[in-house]
Structure formats: structure tokens, C-alpha cells
Structure 1
């Protein structure tokens, strides 16, 4: 619970001092017999008390994990530039990550409180390592594409080939769905677990036959090798509507239990960034580019693969059960691929109250 104010007695004393100042000022005006207009410059007691209270408000730090893309970094860039987090009494300590599983590791260690994740890391929330408190977007930015020299033209051609992918990510999910579609399983392919930067480098250098990754990294690869040298096998949209791919805000269960009011304040700031982002998308791109160092044209290209979830839509899908269905279907895929032994009720790790309260206030 925030300790917003000092003791009532201290505020009362301040109010009393202000009141005495008002009284003495009034007496001075009457004694001089001159209407100097001083009463117009006398501070209002209510305003002064509000200023005192604001000054006494405690600023609390949230250690936040973001990714350098439009989903994960834009809220940070906008929130910092427009003061939305500060307005809620939050100092955001933003730390860059490139994929979800390391974020969960950092949460388990107590180094991260809240994080942005793509759909691929949701299996860790299902394992009880995090509570999903909000949705950012539905995406189709995860892609699998092969090098032209590999001779791969469709999913079935991946058999026996080497694919670089950061495991536990949405890129791996799309890869597995594509293999299933072709009647293959992961054991039919030489899947190499790589960090994001390593996967990008390996593809550009021709060290792998294919890669499963997401924008803006896909855009950067295209710049390096040229579109004509890339063979796209598929993306998230190939498996819609059976599978939707939501990106989410996830909070450490310990942090949620200890500081629920602070989590709600975080979501209040996020609702402001969401509204501003959607209504000022060009400025959002510029702010995100300045914050992340990712070129504006790459971020603009990324927008083509994002379906934003605005505040109204968020309330709708949280309350009508749509979000639960999305995560239920993702869990089916996680079970197939061995990420989960069995599915759990998605309501176990969906905590919708902070978002609903922050939007409806």
C-alpha cells in the first residue's frame, strides 16, 4: 500500500499556518484602509494542501523488462516522454531483453517485477511463474523463412535441414505449427537453439538453412540479404483463427501479492500509453526509434503485422472469455511440443482485475 501522505497532524499544521497567513493578511488590509487586491494573490488553502500532499507522495520503482519493438518498447517510450508513469507515482527502471524466457528467469530471481512477453513464453505463465495482467496486441510478426540457396520452398522441405530459433518463443511456435501442417515433427529437423542476435547472424552468414524469428529482426535481415534471397514459409496468420497470438503484460506472482495497488497503478499508466499510441502512431514510431535505436522504417514495417488491442477491446475479451480461449489453444500447442506436461485452466494465470479497474476508473 502506498504511504502517500505523512501524518494527518502534519498536514493539519500546514493548513493551520496557511489559514493564519490569510487572517494576518486580511487584518493588514483592513488596517491600511486600502484595497490593494492582495486577496487575489493569496494562495487557496485547498490548492496549497494538494501541493503539500503531492510533494509527500512516495515514488515507487518498478523493474520492467521490455523488448526493442513496437509492442514492448513503445509504452515505455511514450510513458516516459509524456510522464504517464510519473503521474501514477512510478519510476520505471526499464531493462532490455530480446525474448521471453530470460525475462521469466529474471523475475524468478527478483530482478524484474513486470515484463512484456510474446505468445511463445506464455507456457511459463501457465507453469505458475507469472500472472498475465494485460494484453498488448495480436500479432503475425513471427515468421519462418529459408535461404534461397537451401532449396527449401515449402514446409515439408525442412526435413533434415538446420533451423535456427530462440526456443521458448513465438517463433518456435510458428515453426512447430508449420511442421505439423506438413506432417513432420521437430525431431525431423535439426533445430538449433540460438539467441535472437545469433539467429540473425547465422542466417545472414548462411550458417543455417532457415530461421524462425520475428520483426523487427525479420526486416533487418531483409535489408542485409535482400528479399529475393529469402523464402518465406509462413507466419502466424497462416494458423488463424484456430490460433491467436497475444502479446501480454506479465507480473511476478510475488510482486502482485505484495504490491497489488502498485500493479494497478502500472496498468493505469499503460491504459494511457495505449490510447496515446493508437491515436498518435507516427509520433509513437519516432519516440520508439529514439528510445531503442531501431530505425523508424523497420518499426513502421513492423506495424503491418500488429493488431493492437485497445482499452475497450481489452475489457471485452477479458470479460467475454475470448482471452481465455486464446490461451487455452496456445496451451494445447505447448503440450504437443513438450513445453507443458498438461494444460491448466487459463484463468489460473490470468489476473484481469488490475486492468479492468484501471480502465473503468
Structure 2
């Protein structure tokens, strides 16, 4: 009995060892591709790789134009979309359109003032960034100007073809004046700031953050604000936009779609993390954070849901129709065209809804 009892554990242990050996062999065979076993793959590695393509992008050094680059590059949104963004700085819209016409720029950020060039067929608007009231007309204290009508016969510095000029012309119209009643001098924004600070002009029509720079140099108490975009709301809304070269849109529609998908992610992140957005934009542009924060006071961001809504229900078309009326009045356009002709809404709507 005793001998019989001892032999049973020996046979049981041998069976256990055999089972373990078979199990290990099976595991080894399963992980060996050459042995005909199944292959374990990483889901990330199985995703199709998007070929990286370059987009030459025109931006302006403000929250509307530069924040998307700063965020998109830092968070990898462009890289995820297979986009290498070659960002080029501009200070106003008309030179951006010139660069698109020459093939140097593919997509650009523009303010409302340059929209007339899209109406002329020079660029398709593919997205909305914000509605703004950052365009302002300021007179110097020395000029004696207190209201719009006092601009008659005075010298005003303004970058022509910009939203600053639009606000100036609306103010003149409100006062019963015409542009020829004023000595309007075409200046770039840097020149306008310098001329104002040096009292070389009686007033300027420019936008944030350059208005903030003037305030820093002369003091708010020495600036006479005549009006801004909000002075003419709701008859006029002033959207900032993404605009694409018609040639680029025709040749690379899929890349434009990828750009709008990246911008949809940028928009979500920017609005949810505005303090970080300011910090990243300041680092990217070298514009002080306090200037960018002050700029936020004059911006109404258009989030993805709002963008899809106004592009789908025709509200955005009304915005651009009204701007065209102003462009015709100010002789920027000979006649208005259907705004739907230069709005390409599908990529943005699709990106916003994903």
C-alpha cells in the first residue's frame, strides 16, 4: 500500500511537466510567423500612413491668424493630418492675395477687409475664424477731432484694402462725408503706428494688437476713439476667414480637406484652453501676452458647431453679401456677385461634424 501510494505522485508530477511543456510549445509556435501561427499586430502600426505634404500658409501676428499655427504645431494637429506647414508672416490681406496669385501662398488668414478680393475670384473662402470688432479709428488729442464729422479735411493713415479702411468709410458715411472729403494716406500698419505716435497724421484706422501698441506709447487718455466694428452691428458683421488659392483648391482638394480637419481640432483646443493659446501665440509671434489678451476683448470666436450652422443655413452668405454692398459703395467692387460663388463650405462642414 505504501509503495503504491508513493508511485501515484510521481506519475502525476510527470503529467504536469508534460502539460506545461506542451503549453509552452504551443505559445512559442503561436508567436512564430514562420511556424504558421497567427501574428499579433499593433493597431497603431496598421493605420495607413498619410503622405506628408507642404502647405504654404500666410498668417498675421495676432490671435486670429497666429494662434492656429502655434497650437497646431505644438499639439501635432498638422502632423497628424500629414501636413508640413510653411508659415509666412504678413501684416494685411491684399499682399497675401498677391502671393497666392504668384503661387507662393496656398492658404491664408484674412480679415474682413480683404474679402472683396475673394469676390473678384482671387480666392475661395473655406472657413471662418471669428467675428471681430478690433478694427478701430483713433484721432490724436492734438488734432481736436471728437467725432466722425470732424475728420473733414484731416489726414488719416490707413492700410488700403483692409477692414480698418472699411470701418473708416462706414464712419464717414455715418457723418455724411465721402472719402474724398478726407486726406486718406495709404500706409502699412507699422507706418501708421509710427505716424500716429509722432503726430504726423490726425487719425489712423488700424486694428489690434497695433492699437494696443499705440496705447502703450501715448497713453489711452491721449487717444480719441471714434468707433470700431461694433458701431455698425448688426447691419454689418465682420468675419475673419481662411481663404485658399483657387488653383490649389482645384489641384489638391483632399489636402484642403485635411487642412480643415486639422483646423477643426485647433479650434476646439484653442477655445477650451484660451490661456495656453495666448501663451503659445506670444512665444510664436513675440507679441507680448498682455497685448494678445487685450485683443481677445474684441474677438467672438466661431466654434465648429457655429461654423457648420452658418455655412449650412446661409447666414454666412448674408454676412458676405452685406460686406459686398459696402465694397461696391466704396468702389472696391464694380458690382456684387453671389457670395456662394466664392464660398467653398463642404470641407469645413465635414470637418466640423466629424
Instruction: Give the Cα–Cα distance (whole angstroms) in 1 for the partners of residues 30 and 190 of structure 2.
Output: 63
Q: Hey, what does 2:264 align to over in structure 1?
A: 271
Give the Cα–Cα distance (whole angstroms) in 1 for the partners of residues 178 and 22 of structure 2.
95
SS in 1 for 2:266: helix
| In structure 2, distance between residues paired with 1:42 and 1:98 | 61
Aligned to 2:320: 327
The one of 81, 84, 92 aligned to 2:77: 84
Identify the residue that residue 57 of structure 1 maps to in structure 2: 50
- Where structure 2 has 5 or more consecutive residues not aligned to the other structure, the ranges are 1-18
Deviation at 1:287, TM superposition (A): 0.4
Q: Secondary structure at the match of 2:235?
A: coil
- What's the offset of the Cα at 1:38? 6.0
Cα drift, residue 51 of structure 1:
2.4
Q: Relative to structure 1, is the Cα distance of residues 230 and 39 closer, same or farther in structure 2, using a 3 angstrom cutoff? A: farther
Deviations 1:25-75 (A, max 9, x none): xxxxx9975728768988995745862765x53100000000000000000
What is the 5 A alignment of 1:251-262? 251-262=244-255
Query: Once the two structures are superposed, what CA deviation does each residue of 1:203-228 show, in whole Å capped at 9, x if it has no partner?
Result: 11111000000000101110011001
Quote the Cα distance in structure 2 between the aligned partners of 1:358 and 1:42.
42
Task: Kindly indicate whether residue 170 of structure 2 is the aligned counterpart of residue 160 of structure 1.
Answer: no
Match of 1:208 among 196, 201, 211: 201
CA distance 1:39–1:290, shift in 2 (3 Å) = farther
Q: Which structure is larger by alpha-carbon Rg, 1 or 2?
A: 2
Structure 1: give runs of 5+ residues left out of the alignment: 1-29
Displacement after TM superposition at 1:358 (Å): 1.4
- Of the candidates 144, 163, 172, which is equivalent to residue 151 of structure 1? 144
Deviations 1:252-302 (A, max 9, x none): 000000000000000000000000000000000000000000000000000
Determine whether 1:284 maps to 2:277.
yes
Distance in 1, matches of 2:158 and 2:257, equals 35
Summarize deviations over 1:53-111 as a string: whole Å, max 9, x none.
65x53100000000000000000000000000000000000000000000000000000
Give the aligned CA root-mean-square deviation in angstroms: 2.0
- SS at 1:129 equivalent: coil
Distance 1:211 1:219 in 2: 13
Which whole-Å CA distance do the structure 1 matches of 2:211 and 2:226 have between them?
13
Whole-Å separation in 1 of the counterparts to 2:235 and 2:24 = 77
- SS of the aligned residue for 2:234 comes to coil
Which ranges of 4 or more aligned residues in structure 1 deviate by more than 2 Å? Answer: 30-54
Q: Is the partner of 2:24 in helix, strand or coil? A: coil
> Partner residue of 1:176?
169
How many residue pairs get matched? 331
Matches within 5 A, 1:15-34: 33=22
